[in-house]
Amino acid sequence: MTEVGYMQTALALARKGWGFTSPNPMVGAVVVKDGAFVGKGWHEKVGGPHAEVNAIDDAGGRARGADLYVTLEPCNHTGRTPPCTEKILAAGIRRVFVAMEDPNPRVAGGGAEFLRARGVPVITGILEEEALRLNEIFVKYARTGRPFVILKCAATLDGRIATRTGDARWVTGEASRAHVHHLRHGMDGILVGIGTVLADDPSLTTRLADGRGLDPTRIILDSRLSIPEGAKVLTVASSAGAVIAAGEAAPEEKARRLSEKGATVIRLPEAGGGLDLGRLMARLGEMGITSVLVEGGSRVAASALKAGIADKIMFFFAPKILGGDDGIPICRGEGPARMDDCIPVKEMAVRRFGEDVLIEGYVDGGRTP
């Protein structure tokens, strides 16, 4: 197997950490000796041992004189766990191959330099693009302090997310909905507008087949604090909390009652006819929320695009045609007058989930890596 093949195995291991490592990145590592794997590991959960430690422990004494392949530059600082560089030196690793440097500008390159200064060669940049894409959430948050934002919708082929009566159950099939719950599991926050809460009373929780899914923080745009105090987003049994983004003029008494129920109320100025979503993202970043999944509705989707907060889109299209112009569109509100002013989407990819098609890509200028 080649160096690329070894790193591909490390990347596959890293993906097993999806949803369990935030705010840390997903990292995988393998220990290779005489052309064979002698140790494998990944960062399994936040606060737990890093991938390098797990891989070296898996290799045991066979790690001495072996090569280590890791998807992210080994850390050289003490956080919740000791520095991985010290573990690498103590294990007698011969060489270290790294996919990407740490994106945090305060520590980037420090781990590699530490090892090189002590006689351990470090080779970087193997499958770097794949590693950056895998940890695009971590990369943006480390560089900007703001969450990575995915705008998701489910629509008919003619671009409607619900009928004129608001019926949207179900636009897409089971396979697409299962993938969305897998997506929720890996995101720190999920955002909807008050219109969605009033119309559907959703729980906004994660429901995976194995029951291991983690719930994202529920974020509601509600400028006037019109949310019912018995809404599921406020009362559902969940380890994740709720954040209500309200306007500066929203009633103080209602805000107090919501806070007493455990919700966090954020006051925001208005911008462009709605709440200032850029300011909201800054506040969420300060709260340690590294990623947000925007799920609806159509005015929220339009606002997210116009505010420039979306980094990535994930549009699921079902093989259905509503056949009228009175259903609810993906985006609602005034758009540009000219096609030249449309929002470009780049690096597009297409996947199938059952009979549905997922189109995903990066909003032009939104992808940090």
Q: Which active-site residues does the annotation give?
A: 52
Q: What is the 8-class DSSP label of residue 67? A: E
Interacting residues of 343 by C-beta distance below 8 A, sequence separation 6+: 305, 363, 364
Distances (CA, A) of 58 to 85, 92, 218: 17, 14, 38
CA distance 288 to 291: 9
Q: Parallel, antiparallel, or unpaired for β 291-296 and 148-155?
A: parallel
Long-range contacts of the stretch 319-326 (C-beta < 8 A, 24+): 319/157, 319/355, 319/356, 320/156, 320/157, 320/171, 321/156, 321/157, 321/158, 322/156, 322/158, 322/160, 322/163, 323/158, 324/164, 326/164
Which H or E element spans position 41? strand 36-42
Interacting residues of 34 by C-beta distance below 8 A, sequence separation 6+: none
Contact call for residues 292 and 147 (beta carbons, < 8 A): yes
Strand partners, 40: 30
The phi-psi region of residue 67 (left if phi > 0; otherwise alpha if psi is between -120 and 50; otherwise beta) is beta
Rg (CA), the chain: 23
Query: Measuring CA to CA, which residue among 195, 137, 188 is closest to residue 166?
Result: 195
Q: Per-residue DSSP letters for 152-204?
A: EEEE-TTSEEE-TT---TTSS-HHHHHHHHHHHHH-SEEEEEHHHHHHH----
- Amino acid at position 89, single letter: L
Query: Measuring CA to CA, which residue among 357, 194, 34, 342 is closest to residue 204?
Result: 194
Contact call for residues 205 and 232 (beta carbons, < 8 A): no
